[in-house]
Structure 1
Amino acid sequence: MRIAVTGSIATDHLMTFPGRIADQLIPDRLDRVSLSFLADELEVRRGGAAANISYGLGGLGLTPLLVGAVGSDFAEYEQWLKDHGVDTGAVHVSTRRQTARFLCLTDQDANQIAAFYAGAMAEAGDIDLGRLDPLPDLVVVAPDAPDAMLRHTERCRALGIAFAADPSQQLARLDGEQTRTLVTGARWLFTNEYEAALLLERTGWSRDDVLGQVGAWVTTLGADGVRVEAADRPAFTVPAVAGVRVADPTGAGDAFRAGFLAALARGLSRLRAAQLGCALASLALSETGSQAYEPDPGRLTTVIAESYGTAAAEELAAHLGGLPCPR
């Protein structure tokens, strides 16, 4: 299965301020704020929903096609993705803007001042999926510039390409009509629990209405695992991997999507897909950074055996490098 992943490609610039931001604010001067903070730590992390999902798929042996917009500063990041199995041939490189950036300053009380520079992402709506050759079997429409998400969804319908709708944090930017457009006809719909409630509010639909519009609805539940629902079969829930030392929750949902889709691409059941997704998410949770984990087949097989039993591990092991199941 050829999977194209559309969406954001960005870097996170995370700085730490050893004092308190609040101590620098003068209550009767808040209409004219001019502040500068001397940060003592800086971490630059690779991110963006589409890049994160593609990284996970590449690590599991697929060759996902990344589709998004970046700036001329993308070269180093691009090489990293290529080294991890990602096809970047469909990435649009802007001649006017830099790659999207998230900049965040965090103080000792975990208060934050942040800004997001969309940059080249503003040009993502110019990308035409119809120009991909060959056309993918599945397109993941992950968070991106809203006009790009709508265009990709509409092009998938026009071209007869199956798509997965993953509106995620962009639901806050979308109105009811736009949300219904993104969801209608999706083979897979991905949300977390809060986004599921927001989607119902935005669309004005009931849960059954949503299930009537999509092939299946996959809702991540944090520490409670994941729920998979469809109109034509019973819903089921897969528990999360227990005992995970959480270093950073950022990107865990993207890792889940990568594991889930990788299993489906190899013809495995929805149950096995959800189990692999939860296992990969557990690896992401234990590392700092969305692309800091290594989808090692041996470690994944061990996690699956311990969490979901030897039958699940034996079936999935053949698709994770063919390693024997731990006993």
Structure 2
Amino acid sequence: MSKTALICGSYAFDSIMVFHDQFKNHILPDKVHMLNVSFLVPTMRKEFGGCGGNIAYNLHLLGANSVPMATVGEDFTPYMNWMQKQHMNTEYIKVIEGSYTGQAFITTDMDDNQITAFHPGAMSNSHENKVSDAAAADIGIVSPDGRDGMIEHAKQFADAKIPFIFDPGQGMPMFSGEELITFIKQATYVAVNDYEAQMLQDKTGLDLTIIASMVKALIITKGGEGSQIHAKGEVIQIPPAKAQSTQDPTGCGDAYRAGLLYGIMNDMDWKTTGQLAGLLGAIKIAYEGTQNHTFDLAEIKQLYQQNYGESLF
């Protein structure tokens, strides 16, 4: 019987704009206290996003039983239609009346610097969903979401003895060092990028060795340099997979986390799990947007063999 992953995290619309210049040419360092700038962005695209949505989408492409849980706004209909078209589970997507779905407005310059404004909208009600509302899950993930929802869902996973990944992402600044330590104690795995890993150490006062000793695995992604997995007192270096092109890094971390979940659900060793996760990130980066790429398990097996010289299964 296949395992089920319950994915607690945000759903959002991403409005992505590209500024065909460099921010530094238009932001005067001695005038930042009275900043008033306007960036002409000739093109804009609106994408389906949100960490929970992206993770669920990638895990679904792998053929796993991916069950997302989130709160969304009254404007969610196009996204819901997309999910249903992909035959994804929408049972625990709760619409909050009078709210917008989370909205990210991202402007990127020619140096890949980003200025983002984020409106949480219905995300702030994520605590209204409870882990116990869903059918039995074998594993979970707490990814960026409403603050109260992240706290409640982590506690609910821990109380139900369901192993889960704590993936604080851009939500980390919402929590104190004490709160982050509580998350780590509750979690089975922690996944962060290298910048977040440093922030996690700074806020908690714990070094990576101590954090890793508190969970089954601490996973740190490093973009084009690959990733590393701290598990069982060892540090496993995961080489990067080869990307066909580099179009858009947004959502690569979420694709990686889907690979983590799949590896754990299928009892893969950490090296294989990390390599699969890295491969998913490399596939995503070749596409604009976070859910415009497609693949199936047969294609993944082939690409895994090409990248790592060994079989996935």
Q: TM-score, normalised by structure 1?
A: 0.85
Q: Which residue of 2 aligns with 1:163?
A: 164
Contact 2:213 2:233 in 1 (8 A): no
CA deviations on 1:112-156 (whole Å, 9 max, x unpaired) are 654211111111122222222x22111100011122111111111
Which structure is richer in relative contact order (CA contacts within 8 A, separation 6 or more)? 2
Matches within 5 A, 1:106-255: 114-132=116-134, 134-230=135-231, 232-242=232-242, 244-255=244-255
Q: Which residue of 1 aligns with 2:48?
A: 46
The offset of 1:85, in angstroms, is 4.3
Percent identity for Structure 1 against Structure 2: 28
Matches within 5 A, 1:253-292: 253-292=253-292
Name the CA shift for 1:189/1:105 in 2 (closer, same or farther; >3 Å).
Answer: closer
- Provide the C-alpha distance between the structure 2 equivalents of 1:109 and 1:261, rounded to a whole number of angstroms: 32
Q: Which residue of 1 aligns with 2:88?
A: 86
Name the CA shift for 1:110/1:271 in 2 (closer, same or farther; >3 Å).
Answer: closer
Name the CA shift for 1:107/1:306 in 2 (closer, same or farther; >3 Å).
Answer: closer
- Provide the C-alpha distance between the structure 2 equivalents of 1:20 and 1:203, rounded to a whole number of angstroms: 35
CA deviations on 1:173-223 (whole Å, 9 max, x unpaired) are 221011112111311110111111111111111223212321111111222
Name the CA shift for 1:40/1:243 in 2 (closer, same or farther; >3 Å).
Answer: closer
Q: Where does structure 1 lack aligned partners over 5 or more consecutive residues?
A: 316-327
- Provide the C-alpha distance between the structure 2 equivalents of 1:55 and 1:111, rounded to a whole number of angstroms: 26
Name the CA shift for 1:196/1:17 in 2 (closer, same or farther; >3 Å).
Answer: closer
Q: Look up the SS of the partner of 1:13 in the other structure.
A: strand
- Aligned partner letter, 2:211: V
Q: Look up the SS of the partner of 1:237 in the other structure.
A: strand
Contact 1:149 1:182 in 2 (8 A): no
Q: Residue 16 of structure 2: which of 7, 11, 14 is its match?
A: 14
- Aligned partner letter, 2:260: F
Superposed CA RMSD in Å reads 2.6
Q: Which residue of 1 aligns with 2:71?
A: 69
- Provide the C-alpha distance between the structure 2 equivalents of 1:31 and 1:221, rounded to a whole number of angstroms: 35
Name the CA shift for 1:23/1:236 in 2 (closer, same or farther; >3 Å).
Answer: closer
Larger radius of gyration: 1
Q: Which residue of 2 aligns with 1:304?
A: 304
The offset of 1:283, in angstroms, is 0.5
Contact 1:153 1:182 in 2 (8 A): yes
CA deviations on 1:61-90 (whole Å, 9 max, x unpaired) are 012111111012112212222333431111
Q: Where does structure 2 lack aligned partners over 5 or more consecutive residues?
A: none
Q: Mean alpha-carbon deviation: is it higher for 237-246 or for 6-15?
A: 237-246
Q: Mean alpha-carbon deviation: is it higher for 210-219 or for 111-120?
A: 111-120
Contact 2:243 2:286 in 1 (8 A): no
Contact 1:56 1:255 in 2 (8 A): yes
- Provide the C-alpha distance between the structure 1 equivalents of 2:87 and 2:222, rounded to a whole number of angstroms: 29
Name the CA shift for 1:60/1:109 in 2 (closer, same or farther; >3 Å).
Answer: closer
- Provide the C-alpha distance between the structure 1 equivalents of 2:277 and 2:124, rounded to a whole number of angstroms: 30
Consecutive aligned runs of 4 or more in structure 1 exceeding 3 Å deviation: 15-25, 30-33, 35-39, 104-114, 296-299
- Provide the C-alpha distance between the structure 2 equivalents of 1:111 and 1:270, rounded to a whole number of angstroms: 32
Count of residue correspondences: 309
- Aligned partner letter, 2:120: A
- Provide the C-alpha distance between the structure 2 equivalents of 1:61 and 1:18, rounded to a whole number of angstroms: 39
Q: Mean alpha-carbon deviation: is it higher for 98-107 or for 199-208?
A: 98-107
- Aligned partner letter, 1:155: Q
